Structure 1
Amino acid sequence: MSKPVKSILTVLVILIITGLAFYPRLKEYTSKKEEKGAGAPKGGGPAAQGGAKGGGPAPINIMVIGNQRLEEKILSTGTIIANEEVDIRSEIAGRITSINFKEGDYVKKGTVLVRINDADLQAQLQKLQYQKKLAEVNEERQKKLLEKEAISQRDYDISLTNLNSMNADIQNLEAQIAKTVIRAPFDGTIGLRYVSEGSYLSPGTVAKIATLTNVNPAKIDFSVPAKYAANVAKGTAITFTTESGDEKFYGRVYAIEPKIDPNTRTLTLRATSPNNNRKLFPGSFARIEIILNTKANGILVPTEAVIPGLKGHSVFVVRNNKAEPVEVQIGTRGDKTIEIYKGLNVGDTLITSGILQVKPGGPVDIKEAMVKQ
């Protein structure tokens, strides 16, 4: 190989090695340059030189303020209970001879429900009645002898006391016999039966025969916070719904606990509601509303539109297509709304969303508008 060729090959090898050594740095430099070029906006205006300084109009949603009917409410939960309810039990021991009702029957007050064997008591009563007749004859004879002064007053008093004791024993026995007939104490519906004919009842075993329930009207037990104690009274109207649906029921408070519960700081109330159609079942859960005050004209705004601060509350309104802060005074709070009673007027344009992006005096871009009437 000639000397010139060797020189050329040597130069080429050196160039290749040098290129391989500097290639990574060259690639890194090229990538950075491309990124800087892509980040710069096209054109030669101010935005291209200084970025997005000042930004564009903030996208917002608005609401045009209008008058609304406002109701100050107390929300509570409670339980529906029966108007009257009692467990049917026997006061005396004995065997059941007859059951005169069916489960689920509606019975009137005084209806005979159960009879208990009273044969032994009837026998005792008959014996006392025979003894009473003898005591009456003896008392009459002694009375005549006393009139003739044939006996002393003491002898006559003994015979009279014996007759009166017989009468008392008979009355006591008749009362025991009356207990063998169990009657309905009020109008109501009989529940499930827990005994059968022939069962032996004993007061010591506390055997329940059945339950009698009157559900018309239904009663509702519930509580309100102590701060509302002066706002409720007998006759206060309530509306409520149950867990079985959204149908609204109406009632009135008829009894109030005379003291605040020191553990819960609540006042317990009881209301009644007509239940002719038997839609209200004892034990059901109830969601209760009590309307305290009503305002024909008021201003309600979404909760998220109100900004709390150290000195009070404020909102943003749109004026001349710019956002302006306005101090407001709030009233009653609801689940999703707040009453504004000072600071806003009917016709004002309130910013309801996008508040974090707006600046006092900054331009805005209205995306959605709603009129509140």
Structure 2
Amino acid sequence: MTTFTKRLLTAIIIVLVGALAFYPKLKPLLAPKPDEKAATGGGKPGGDAKGGGKASVDVMVVNMQSLDEKILTTGTIIPNEEVEVRSEISGRVTGIFFKEGQYVKKDAVLLRINDADLQAQLQKLLSNKQLAETNESRQKRLLEKEAISRQEYDIAQTNLNGILADIENLKVQISKTVIRAPFDGTIGLRYISSGSYISPASRIATLTNTNPAKLDFSVPAKYAQLVRQGSKIQFLVEGSSRQYGGTVYAVETKVDPETRSLLLRAVSPNNDRTLVPGAFARINVVLNSHGNAIVVPTEAIIPEQAGQKVFVVRNRKAESVPVEIGLRNDRTVEIRSGLHVGDSLITAGTQLVKPGGEVDIRNLN
């Protein structure tokens, strides 16, 4: 080992020993001053109330709201009336009198089937009817003169009655060649064309009436005694933020033993036809209405050993207020005492505040 290397190692060792010896005395001088630590929020982003800074909170102004006891469920929109348009007889289509998506009135003609053969049969029966009426009239006069037996007259009368019955039956068959709308509604897609040969198995189109709309939904069996005809519902459908209302008008007579739920059906006005059959609906069933009350978000309630409390803002400072709660659901809680209309309630950021601490209101609802 060279002389230079020995001297270098010796210098490094001396420096390290000196640093270790003097570090405890230099440590207090390197620590941040207390006022600098407070200015930076105690090392925490934003600085909370416990570190001396203002706590950022969301606030809502307390007011009276309608308080309803509700249960949340889901359901499906169904039409008021719906039918697959089919023919009662077989034949060739001679005319189609509707367009796909068209709104039609009750008894509007939708389709005609060729009835030429039936009309010919009818004309033949009408001719036979005239002959039978003439024969029956003649036999009746002869019977009155006792020129023939009662049996001979009965044969003539039976022949006439049979022809009359055949005429009525044929007229019914002819009426079936004209297909009419059974109720007001909208025609869906068409599945046949003019000139097609159709039978009772042939699907022509679907006619749907959606005003009013209906909803099928179910509730747990434990609510069976609370939901009845006339119960009110509120619901939303997918793709829309509009809230609709309805009324329960039919209740199943028994609880489903497999799902332990009760099936109900409600009706809702649908004048603008925005409720489409088959759509998924989120439904609130109103069990009881309790009038107006103070209602606050669930997250604003802070449980403690003696009960519950909330924080309100007064003079830009947080103040703890004990409250008595009432009805609650998954989102809101009724406040029976402790809060008053007009109070500024802290709804978010409660974990950052302390009684008497200053707050910074970032959102006001």
TM norm. shorter chain > 0.5? yes
TM-score (norm 2): 0.71
Other-structure match for 1:305: 300
Other-structure match for 2:173: 176
Q: Please give the per-residue CA displacement for 1:36-84, whole angstroms capped at 9, x wherever unaligned.
A: 76569779xxxxxxxxxxx866965596985522421534444333332
1:43-122 matches, within 5 Å, as 66-72=62-68, 74=70, 75-122=72-119
2 CA distance for matches of 1:37 and 1:265? 73
Please give the root-mean-square deviation of Cα atoms over the aligned residues, in Å.
4.4
Report SS of the residue matched to 1:174: helix
Q: Please give the per-residue CA displacement for 1:198-228, whole angstroms capped at 9, x wherever unaligned.
A: 100022xx2222222333x231304363455
Q: Summarize the Cα distance change of 1:14–1:138 in structure 2 as closer, same or farther, 3 Å threshold.
A: closer
Q: Summarize the Cα distance change of 1:134–1:16 in structure 2 as closer, same or farther, 3 Å threshold.
A: closer
Report SS of the residue matched to 2:101: coil
Is the counterpart of residue 257 in structure 1 residue 249 in structure 2?
no
2 CA distance for matches of 1:85 and 1:247? 25
2 CA distance for matches of 1:249 and 1:62? 30
Other-structure match for 1:340: 335
Q: Summarize the Cα distance change of 1:138–1:32 in structure 2 as closer, same or farther, 3 Å threshold.
A: farther
Q: Please give the per-residue CA displacement for 1:13-47, whole angstroms capped at 9, x wherever unaligned.
A: 9997776667666656666765576569779xxxx
Letter in 2 for 1:341: R
2 CA distance for matches of 1:345 and 1:33? 57
TM-score (norm 1): 0.70
Report SS of the residue matched to 1:296: strand
Larger Rg: 1
Shift in Å at residue 98 of structure 1? 1.5
Contact 1:67 / 1:372 at 8 angstroms: preserved in 2?
A: no
1:21-32 matches, within 5 Å, as none
Report SS of the residue matched to 1:340: strand
Q: Please give the per-residue CA displacement for 1:118-159, whole angstroms capped at 9, x wherever unaligned.
A: 122222223333333343344334434443444443343333
Q: Aligned pairs, how many?
A: 342
Letter in 1 for 2:85: I
Contact 1:80 / 1:218 at 8 angstroms: preserved in 2?
A: no
Contact 1:96 / 1:197 at 8 angstroms: preserved in 2?
A: yes
Identity of aligned residues (%): 44
From 207, 213, 216, the counterpart of 1:212: 207
Gaps of 5+ in 2: 36-49
Report SS of the residue matched to 1:85: strand
Gaps of 5+ in 1: 1-9, 44-54
Contact 2:244 / 2:268 at 8 angstroms: preserved in 1?
A: no
Report SS of the residue matched to 1:269: strand
From 243, 248, 270, the counterpart of 2:266: 270
1:285-364 matches, within 5 Å, as 285-289=280-284, 292-298=288-294, 300-308=295-303, 313-315=307-309, 326=322, 328-335=324-331, 337-342=332-337, 344-346=338-340, 364=356
Letter in 2 for 1:273: P
2 CA distance for matches of 1:29 and 1:161? 137
Q: Summarize the Cα distance change of 1:34–1:153 in structure 2 as closer, same or farther, 3 Å threshold.
A: farther
Letter in 1 for 2:359: K
1 CA distance for matches of 2:197 and 2:21? 104
Q: Summarize the Cα distance change of 1:32–1:96 in structure 2 as closer, same or farther, 3 Å threshold.
A: farther
Other-structure match for 2:156: 159
From 119, 123, 126, the counterpart of 2:120: 123
2 CA distance for matches of 1:250 and 1:305? 29
